[in-house]
Protein backbone atom coordinates (compact mmCIF):
# COMPACT_ATOMS: atom_id res chain seq x y z
CA UNK A 1 0.00 0.00 0.00
CA UNK A 2 1.38 3.40 -1.04
CA UNK A 3 1.18 6.03 1.73
CA UNK A 4 -1.10 9.02 1.18
CA UNK A 5 0.62 11.69 -0.87
CA UNK A 6 3.34 9.31 -2.08
CA UNK A 7 3.72 7.60 -5.45
CA UNK A 8 5.41 4.38 -6.53
CA UNK A 9 7.16 4.57 -9.90
CA UNK A 10 10.05 2.80 -11.60
CA UNK A 11 13.40 4.46 -11.02
CA UNK A 12 13.96 5.24 -14.71
CA UNK A 13 11.01 7.69 -14.60
CA UNK A 14 12.91 9.83 -12.08
CA UNK A 15 16.58 9.14 -12.82
CA UNK A 16 19.06 8.22 -15.51
CA UNK A 17 20.89 4.93 -14.91
CA UNK A 18 24.37 5.35 -16.40
CA UNK A 19 26.81 2.55 -17.18
CA UNK A 20 30.54 3.08 -16.78
CA UNK A 21 33.66 2.55 -18.88
CA UNK A 22 35.15 -0.84 -19.69
CA UNK A 23 38.82 -1.40 -18.96
CA UNK A 24 41.33 -2.72 -21.48
CA UNK A 25 40.35 -0.86 -24.64
CA UNK A 26 43.22 -0.20 -27.03
CA UNK A 27 43.78 2.11 -29.98
CA UNK A 28 42.21 5.10 -28.24
CA UNK A 29 42.34 8.45 -30.03
CA UNK A 30 43.72 11.35 -27.95
CA UNK A 31 43.67 9.34 -24.69
CA UNK A 32 43.67 10.90 -21.24
CA UNK A 33 44.39 9.09 -17.96
CA UNK A 34 41.71 9.63 -15.31
CA UNK A 35 40.91 8.16 -11.85
CA UNK A 36 38.01 5.73 -11.82
CA UNK A 37 35.95 3.82 -9.25
CA UNK A 38 35.83 0.02 -9.18
CA UNK A 39 33.51 -2.37 -7.37
CA UNK A 40 36.05 -2.40 -4.51
CA UNK A 41 35.52 1.35 -4.06
CA UNK A 42 31.73 1.08 -3.70
CA UNK A 43 31.10 -1.27 -0.83
CA UNK A 44 28.39 -1.68 1.78
CA UNK A 45 26.84 1.76 1.39
CA UNK A 46 30.15 3.62 1.40
CA UNK A 47 32.63 5.01 -1.07
CA UNK A 48 36.15 3.91 -0.18
CA UNK A 49 38.79 6.18 -1.73
CA UNK A 50 41.80 4.63 0.00
CA UNK A 51 43.00 3.00 -3.23
CA UNK A 52 42.07 4.60 -6.55
CA UNK A 53 43.11 3.17 -9.91
CA UNK A 54 43.40 5.04 -13.20
CA UNK A 55 42.06 4.28 -16.66
CA UNK A 56 42.62 5.65 -20.14
CA UNK A 57 39.70 7.17 -22.04
CA UNK A 58 39.38 9.27 -25.18
CA UNK A 59 39.34 12.94 -24.24
CA UNK A 60 36.12 13.62 -26.15
CA UNK A 61 34.31 10.99 -24.01
CA UNK A 62 35.45 12.39 -20.67
CA UNK A 63 32.32 14.49 -20.13
CA UNK A 64 30.03 11.60 -21.03
CA UNK A 65 31.50 9.24 -18.45
CA UNK A 66 32.52 11.63 -15.66
CA UNK A 67 30.66 11.41 -12.38
CA UNK A 68 28.66 14.42 -11.23
CA UNK A 69 27.80 15.67 -7.78
CA UNK A 70 24.71 13.82 -6.54
CA UNK A 71 25.17 10.64 -8.58
CA UNK A 72 24.14 7.58 -6.57
CA UNK A 73 26.68 4.79 -7.06
CA UNK A 74 25.50 1.17 -7.04
CA UNK A 75 27.38 -2.07 -7.58
CA UNK A 76 26.46 -4.63 -10.20
CA UNK A 77 27.24 -7.47 -7.79
CA UNK A 78 28.42 -8.46 -4.34
CA UNK A 79 27.40 -10.15 -1.11
CA UNK A 80 23.66 -10.64 -0.56
CA UNK A 81 23.64 -8.09 2.28
CA UNK A 82 25.45 -5.45 0.20
CA UNK A 83 23.69 -5.76 -3.14
CA UNK A 84 22.29 -2.45 -4.38
CA UNK A 85 23.72 -0.53 -1.43
CA UNK A 86 25.12 2.69 -2.79
CA UNK A 87 26.33 6.07 -1.69
CA UNK A 88 26.17 9.59 -3.06
CA UNK A 89 29.11 10.98 -5.03
CA UNK A 90 30.19 14.38 -3.69
CA UNK A 91 32.91 15.21 -6.21
CA UNK A 92 35.63 13.96 -3.87
CA UNK A 93 37.84 13.55 -6.97
CA UNK A 94 37.34 15.60 -10.10
CA UNK A 95 37.21 14.39 -12.78
CA UNK A 96 36.44 10.76 -11.90
CA UNK A 97 34.95 7.92 -13.93
CA UNK A 98 33.28 4.67 -12.90
CA UNK A 99 33.83 1.10 -14.04
CA UNK A 100 31.20 -0.67 -16.14
CA UNK A 101 30.40 -2.87 -13.11
CA UNK A 102 29.43 0.23 -11.10
CA UNK A 103 26.25 2.10 -12.06
CA UNK A 104 25.81 5.84 -11.58
CA UNK A 105 22.18 6.77 -11.00
CA UNK A 106 21.54 10.46 -11.72
CA UNK A 107 18.21 11.56 -10.17
CA UNK A 108 16.05 14.48 -11.29
CA UNK A 109 16.80 16.50 -8.18
CA UNK A 110 13.53 18.42 -8.19
CA UNK A 111 11.69 15.09 -7.86
CA UNK A 112 14.08 12.64 -6.20
CA UNK A 113 16.69 13.48 -3.57
CA UNK A 114 19.98 11.61 -4.10
CA UNK A 115 20.45 10.86 -0.40
CA UNK A 116 16.87 9.65 -0.10
CA UNK A 117 17.41 7.26 -3.04
CA UNK A 118 20.67 5.93 -1.58
CA UNK A 119 18.92 5.30 1.76
CA UNK A 120 15.96 3.59 0.09
CA UNK A 121 18.26 1.31 -1.95
CA UNK A 122 20.16 0.38 1.23
CA UNK A 123 17.01 -0.26 3.29
CA UNK A 124 15.20 -3.56 3.80
CA UNK A 125 12.74 -2.44 1.12
CA UNK A 126 15.53 -1.97 -1.44
CA UNK A 127 17.41 -5.09 -0.41
CA UNK A 128 14.26 -7.19 -0.76
CA UNK A 129 13.67 -5.93 -4.30
CA UNK A 130 17.25 -6.40 -5.53
CA UNK A 131 17.49 -9.91 -4.09
CA UNK A 132 14.16 -10.84 -5.67
CA UNK A 133 15.48 -10.20 -9.18
CA UNK A 134 19.20 -10.85 -8.74
CA UNK A 135 21.17 -13.62 -10.35
CA UNK A 136 22.63 -15.69 -7.50
CA UNK A 137 25.62 -17.96 -7.03
CA UNK A 138 26.74 -19.26 -3.61
CA UNK A 139 26.89 -16.12 -1.38
CA UNK A 140 27.09 -13.65 -4.26
CA UNK A 141 24.43 -11.97 -6.37
CA UNK A 142 24.36 -9.61 -9.33
CA UNK A 143 21.90 -7.21 -10.93
CA UNK A 144 21.88 -5.43 -14.28
CA UNK A 145 20.96 -1.93 -15.41
CA UNK A 146 17.44 -3.00 -16.45
CA UNK A 147 16.69 -4.23 -12.94
CA UNK A 148 17.95 -0.98 -11.44
CA UNK A 149 15.78 1.00 -13.87
CA UNK A 150 12.75 -1.07 -12.81
CA UNK A 151 13.36 -0.53 -9.09
CA UNK A 152 9.91 0.53 -7.76
CA UNK A 153 10.77 3.70 -5.86
CA UNK A 154 8.47 4.90 -3.08
CA UNK A 155 8.46 8.66 -3.54
CA UNK A 156 7.12 11.14 -1.00
CA UNK A 157 6.98 14.88 -1.80
CA UNK A 158 10.48 16.34 -2.15
CA UNK A 159 10.10 18.34 1.08
CA UNK A 160 9.34 15.11 2.99
CA UNK A 161 12.29 13.37 1.33
CA UNK A 162 14.56 16.16 2.53
CA UNK A 163 13.21 15.90 6.08
CA UNK A 164 13.75 12.12 6.10
CA UNK A 165 17.31 12.62 4.83
CA UNK A 166 17.96 15.15 7.60
CA UNK A 167 16.75 12.74 10.28
CA UNK A 168 18.86 9.88 8.95
CA UNK A 169 21.83 12.23 8.66
CA UNK A 170 21.64 12.85 12.41
CA UNK A 171 21.96 9.12 13.00
CA UNK A 172 24.81 8.90 10.50
CA UNK A 173 26.68 11.62 12.38
CA UNK A 174 26.24 9.73 15.68
CA UNK A 175 27.43 6.50 14.03
CA UNK A 176 30.42 8.26 12.44
CA UNK A 177 31.41 9.88 15.74
CA UNK A 178 31.20 6.53 17.55
CA UNK A 179 33.21 4.81 14.82
CA UNK A 180 35.89 7.46 15.23
CA UNK A 181 35.98 6.99 19.01
CA UNK A 182 36.16 3.23 18.56
CA UNK A 183 38.99 3.53 16.05
CA UNK A 184 40.91 5.86 18.36
CA UNK A 185 40.48 3.46 21.31
CA UNK A 186 41.70 0.54 19.21
CA UNK A 187 44.74 2.49 18.07
CA UNK A 188 45.50 3.62 21.62
CA UNK A 189 45.32 0.03 22.84
CA UNK A 190 47.61 -1.11 20.02
CA UNK A 191 50.17 1.57 20.92
CA UNK A 192 49.92 0.71 24.61
CA UNK A 193 50.47 -2.99 23.86
CA UNK A 194 53.64 -2.13 21.95
CA UNK A 195 54.91 -0.20 24.96
CA UNK A 196 53.83 -2.53 27.77
CA UNK A 197 54.55 -5.91 26.18
CA UNK A 198 58.12 -4.93 25.32
CA UNK A 199 59.02 -3.30 28.63
CA UNK A 200 59.45 0.14 27.06
CA UNK A 201 56.79 1.41 29.46
CA UNK A 202 56.84 0.10 33.05
CA UNK A 203 53.88 0.26 35.41
CA UNK A 204 53.66 0.82 39.16
CA UNK A 205 53.18 -2.06 41.60
CA UNK A 206 50.57 -2.15 44.38
CA UNK A 207 52.87 0.02 46.54
CA UNK A 208 53.21 2.71 43.88
CA UNK A 209 56.78 1.69 43.05
CA UNK A 210 57.69 1.27 39.40
CA UNK A 211 58.52 -2.28 38.35
CA UNK A 212 62.25 -2.55 37.68
CA UNK A 213 63.11 -6.26 37.68
CA UNK A 214 64.87 -7.34 34.50
CA UNK A 215 62.77 -9.25 31.95
CA UNK A 216 63.88 -12.67 30.70
CA UNK A 217 63.52 -14.18 27.23
CA UNK A 218 61.99 -17.66 26.97
CA UNK A 219 60.92 -20.04 24.24
CA UNK A 220 57.19 -20.49 24.60
CA UNK A 221 57.69 -24.27 24.85
CA UNK A 222 59.62 -23.77 28.10
CA UNK A 223 56.81 -21.91 29.87
CA UNK A 224 53.67 -23.52 28.42
CA UNK A 225 52.31 -26.89 27.36
CA UNK A 226 50.49 -27.13 24.05
CA UNK A 227 48.87 -29.47 21.58
CA UNK A 228 46.39 -29.25 18.74
CA UNK A 229 42.88 -30.66 18.81
CA UNK A 230 41.02 -33.06 16.57
CA UNK A 231 37.76 -33.74 14.77
CA UNK A 232 35.72 -36.90 15.44
CA UNK A 233 34.22 -38.64 12.39
CA UNK A 234 31.22 -36.59 11.33
CA UNK A 235 29.48 -39.76 10.12
CA UNK A 236 29.18 -41.07 13.69
CA UNK A 237 26.22 -39.31 15.28
CA UNK A 238 27.12 -40.62 18.75
CA UNK A 239 30.24 -38.45 18.76
CA UNK A 240 28.33 -35.15 18.61
CA UNK A 241 25.76 -33.06 20.52
CA UNK A 242 26.98 -34.18 23.91
CA UNK A 243 27.45 -30.78 25.53
CA UNK A 244 31.28 -30.64 25.52
CA UNK A 245 32.16 -27.38 23.68
CA UNK A 246 34.16 -28.04 20.49
CA UNK A 247 35.88 -24.86 19.32
CA UNK A 248 36.26 -24.14 15.61
CA UNK A 249 37.91 -21.19 13.87
CA UNK A 250 34.40 -19.81 13.25
CA UNK A 251 33.69 -19.85 17.00
CA UNK A 252 36.87 -17.85 17.61
CA UNK A 253 36.08 -15.19 15.01
CA UNK A 254 32.47 -14.95 16.23
CA UNK A 255 33.15 -14.79 19.98
CA UNK A 256 36.47 -12.97 20.15
CA UNK A 257 38.43 -13.02 23.40
CA UNK A 258 36.31 -15.30 25.57
CA UNK A 259 34.73 -18.59 24.49
CA UNK A 260 32.21 -20.40 26.68
CA UNK A 261 29.77 -21.74 24.06
CA UNK A 262 30.31 -23.22 20.60
CA UNK A 263 28.21 -24.06 17.54
CA UNK A 264 28.95 -27.78 17.92
CA UNK A 265 29.55 -29.96 20.95
CA UNK A 266 31.04 -33.42 21.45
CA UNK A 267 30.15 -36.40 23.59
CA UNK A 268 32.70 -38.12 25.83
CA UNK A 269 32.71 -40.90 23.24
CA UNK A 270 33.64 -38.38 20.54
CA UNK A 271 36.57 -37.11 22.59
CA UNK A 272 37.78 -40.62 23.37
CA UNK A 273 37.65 -41.71 19.73
CA UNK A 274 39.53 -38.77 18.20
CA UNK A 275 42.64 -36.70 18.76
CA UNK A 276 40.48 -34.04 20.40
CA UNK A 277 41.27 -33.55 24.07
CA UNK A 278 39.88 -31.53 26.93
CA UNK A 279 41.49 -28.16 27.61
CA UNK A 280 41.03 -26.65 31.08
CA UNK A 281 39.54 -23.23 31.72
CA UNK A 282 41.90 -20.35 30.79
CA UNK A 283 43.59 -22.32 28.02
CA UNK A 284 44.75 -20.03 25.20
CA UNK A 285 43.24 -21.09 21.87
CA UNK A 286 45.47 -20.18 18.93
CA UNK A 287 44.45 -20.51 15.27
CA UNK A 288 47.06 -22.21 13.08
CA UNK A 289 45.07 -22.53 9.81
CA UNK A 290 42.78 -20.18 7.87
CA UNK A 291 42.54 -17.19 10.24
CA UNK A 292 46.11 -17.68 11.44
CA UNK A 293 47.06 -15.75 14.52
CA UNK A 294 43.51 -15.38 15.86
CA UNK A 295 43.48 -15.89 19.61
CA UNK A 296 40.84 -16.62 22.26
CA UNK A 297 40.65 -17.79 25.88
CA UNK A 298 38.57 -20.75 27.04
CA UNK A 299 36.18 -19.54 29.71
CA UNK A 300 35.13 -23.12 30.45
CA UNK A 301 36.57 -26.57 29.74
CA UNK A 302 36.58 -27.08 25.95
CA UNK A 303 37.91 -29.19 23.10
CA UNK A 304 38.95 -27.93 19.67
CA UNK A 305 39.54 -28.85 16.05
CA UNK A 306 43.01 -29.67 14.75
CA UNK A 307 43.21 -26.14 13.29
CA UNK A 308 43.57 -24.77 16.83
CA UNK A 309 46.43 -25.08 19.28
CA UNK A 310 45.55 -25.28 22.97
CA UNK A 311 48.24 -23.53 25.02
CA UNK A 312 48.31 -24.05 28.81
CA UNK A 313 50.66 -21.61 30.58
CA UNK A 314 52.86 -22.83 33.45
CA UNK A 315 52.91 -21.06 36.83
CA UNK A 316 55.39 -18.40 35.70
CA UNK A 317 53.18 -17.23 32.82
CA UNK A 318 49.88 -15.41 33.30
CA UNK A 319 47.31 -16.63 30.74
CA UNK A 320 46.02 -13.13 29.88
CA UNK A 321 49.53 -11.80 29.41
CA UNK A 322 50.12 -14.63 26.92
CA UNK A 323 46.83 -13.81 25.19
CA UNK A 324 47.81 -10.16 24.72
CA UNK A 325 51.33 -11.15 23.63
CA UNK A 326 49.97 -13.48 20.93
CA UNK A 327 47.47 -10.81 19.84
CA UNK A 328 50.38 -8.39 19.42
CA UNK A 329 51.95 -10.81 16.91
CA UNK A 330 48.77 -11.12 14.83
CA UNK A 331 49.58 -8.53 12.16
CA UNK A 332 53.07 -9.92 11.65
CA UNK A 333 51.83 -13.52 11.44
CA UNK A 334 49.07 -12.63 8.97
CA UNK A 335 51.51 -10.63 6.82
CA UNK A 336 53.81 -13.65 6.60
CA UNK A 337 50.88 -15.74 5.39
CA UNK A 338 49.85 -13.15 2.79
CA UNK A 339 53.40 -12.95 1.46
CA UNK A 340 53.59 -16.71 1.14
CA UNK A 341 56.32 -17.09 3.76
CA UNK A 342 54.10 -19.52 5.66
CA UNK A 343 50.38 -19.80 4.97
CA UNK A 344 49.78 -21.95 8.07
CA UNK A 345 51.38 -22.44 11.47
CA UNK A 346 52.18 -25.65 13.30
CA UNK A 347 52.81 -26.54 16.92
CA UNK A 348 56.57 -26.68 16.39
CA UNK A 349 56.67 -23.13 15.07
CA UNK A 350 54.59 -21.78 17.96
CA UNK A 351 56.75 -23.61 20.50
CA UNK A 352 59.75 -21.70 19.12
CA UNK A 353 58.11 -18.28 19.65
CA UNK A 354 60.35 -16.08 21.80
CA UNK A 355 58.65 -14.17 24.58
CA UNK A 356 60.18 -11.46 26.75
CA UNK A 357 58.73 -12.07 30.19
CA UNK A 358 58.53 -9.90 33.33
CA UNK A 359 57.70 -11.39 36.72
CA UNK A 360 54.17 -12.64 37.36
CA UNK A 361 53.00 -9.54 39.25
CA UNK A 362 54.05 -7.23 36.41
CA UNK A 363 52.38 -9.58 33.90
CA UNK A 364 49.13 -9.29 35.87
CA UNK A 365 49.44 -5.50 36.11
CA UNK A 366 49.95 -5.23 32.33
CA UNK A 367 46.97 -7.54 31.72
CA UNK A 368 44.77 -5.41 34.00
CA UNK A 369 45.59 -2.22 32.07
CA UNK A 370 44.91 -3.86 28.70
CA UNK A 371 41.68 -5.36 30.04
CA UNK A 372 40.47 -1.86 30.86
CA UNK A 373 41.20 -0.91 27.24
CA UNK A 374 39.20 -3.93 26.07
CA UNK A 375 36.25 -2.93 28.25
CA UNK A 376 36.23 0.58 26.77
CA UNK A 377 36.38 -0.86 23.24
CA UNK A 378 33.55 -3.28 24.03
CA UNK A 379 31.32 -0.48 25.34
CA UNK A 380 31.91 1.57 22.20
CA UNK A 381 31.33 -1.45 19.94
CA UNK A 382 28.02 -2.20 21.66
CA UNK A 383 27.00 1.44 21.33
CA UNK A 384 27.89 1.40 17.63
CA UNK A 385 25.96 -1.82 17.01
CA UNK A 386 22.96 -0.37 18.84
CA UNK A 387 23.03 2.86 16.80
CA UNK A 388 23.19 0.91 13.54
CA UNK A 389 20.27 -1.31 14.54
CA UNK A 390 18.19 1.68 15.63
CA UNK A 391 18.92 3.48 12.36
CA UNK A 392 18.00 0.36 10.39
CA UNK A 393 14.66 0.11 12.19
CA UNK A 394 14.02 3.84 11.68
CA UNK A 395 14.77 3.53 7.96
CA UNK A 396 12.19 0.77 7.64
CA UNK A 397 9.60 3.08 9.20
CA UNK A 398 10.48 6.35 7.45
CA UNK A 399 11.24 5.06 3.95
CA UNK A 400 7.99 3.15 3.64
CA UNK A 401 5.77 5.84 5.11
CA UNK A 402 4.78 3.76 8.15
CA UNK A 403 6.09 6.65 10.21
CA UNK A 404 5.51 10.11 8.75
CA UNK A 405 7.57 13.19 9.43
CA UNK A 406 6.36 16.73 9.93
CA UNK A 407 7.35 19.09 7.18
CA UNK A 408 7.66 22.79 7.92
CA UNK A 409 5.17 24.91 6.00
What's the CA gap between 268 and 242, in Å, rounded? 7
Do 187 and 237 lie in one domain? The reply is: no
Q: Are 336 and 342 in contact (CB under 8 A)?
A: yes
Do 378 and 346 lie in one domain? The reply is: no
Residue 340 — left, alpha, or beta (φ > 0 → left; ψ -120 to 50 → alpha)? left
pLDDT of the chain, 409 residues: tens digit per residue: 899 999 999 999 999 999 988 887 777 888 899 999 988 888 777 888 999 999 999 999 899 999 999 999 998 876 656 666 678 999 999 999 998 889 999 999 999 999 999 999 989 899 889 888 888 777 777 888 899 999 999 999 999 999 999 999 999 999 999 999 999 999 999 999 999 999 999 999 999 999 999 999 999 999 999 999 999 999 999 999 999 999 999 999 999 999 999 999 999 999 999 999 999 999 999 999 888 889 999 999 999 999 999 999 999 999 999 999 999 998 888 776 555 555 688 889 999 999 999 999 999 999 999 999 999 999 999 999 999 999 999 999 999 999 988 887 6
Do 12 and 148 lie in one domain? The reply is: yes
Do 52 and 175 lie in one domain? The reply is: no
Do 223 and 86 lie in one domain? The reply is: no
Flag whether 211 is in a domain: no
Flag whether 2 is in a domain: no
Do 51 and 141 lie in one domain? The reply is: yes
Flag whether 142 is in a domain: yes
List, in sequence order, every beta strand (DSSP E) within 264-353: 264-266, 284-287, 295-298, 303-304, 308-313
Domain interval for residue 235? 216-357
What's the domain count of the chain? 3
Do 142 and 74 lie in one domain? The reply is: yes
pTM of the model: 0.82
The helix (H) or strand (E) run that includes residue 182 is helix 158-196
| Backbone torsions φ then ψ of 295, nearest 5 degrees | -140, 140
Do 181 and 318 lie in one domain? The reply is: no
In degrees, rounded to 5, the angle at the alpha carbon of residue 227 between the alpha carbons of residues 226 and 229 is 140
Instruction: Assign residue 105 the CATH number of its domain.
Output: 3.90.220.20
In degrees, rounded to 5, the angle at the alpha carbon of residue 295 between the alpha carbons of residues 337 and 238 is 105
Q: Are 46 and 82 in contact (CB under 8 A)?
A: no
The helix (H) or strand (E) run that includes residue 359 is none
Do 163 and 135 lie in one domain? The reply is: no
Do 166 and 145 lie in one domain? The reply is: no
Flag whether 363 is in a domain: yes
What's the CA gap between 262 and 308, in Å, rounded? 14
Domain end point (choices 155, 171, 197): 155
Please state, in angstroms and as integers, the Cα–Cα distance from residue 306 to each residue in 92, 102, 124, 265, 276, following that order.
48, 42, 40, 15, 8
Do 51 and 78 lie in one domain? The reply is: yes
Instruction: Assign residue 198 the CATH number of its domain.
Output: 1.10.287.1120
Flag whether 89 is in a domain: yes
Do 367 and 336 lie in one domain? The reply is: no
Adjacent-strand bridge partners of 279: 302
Flag whether 221 is in a domain: yes
Amino acid sequence: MVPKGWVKVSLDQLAEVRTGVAKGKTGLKDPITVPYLRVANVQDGRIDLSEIKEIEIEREKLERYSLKYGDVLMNEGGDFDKLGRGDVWLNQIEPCLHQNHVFAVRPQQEKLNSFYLAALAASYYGKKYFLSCAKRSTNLASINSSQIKEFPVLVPPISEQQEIVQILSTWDQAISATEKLLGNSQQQKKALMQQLLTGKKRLLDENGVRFSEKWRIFCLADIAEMNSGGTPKSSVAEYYDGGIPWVSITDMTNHGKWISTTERTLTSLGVENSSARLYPKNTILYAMYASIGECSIAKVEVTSSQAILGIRPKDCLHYEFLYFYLCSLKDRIKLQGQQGTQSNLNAGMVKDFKINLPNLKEQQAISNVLNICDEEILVLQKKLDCLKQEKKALMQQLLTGKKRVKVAA
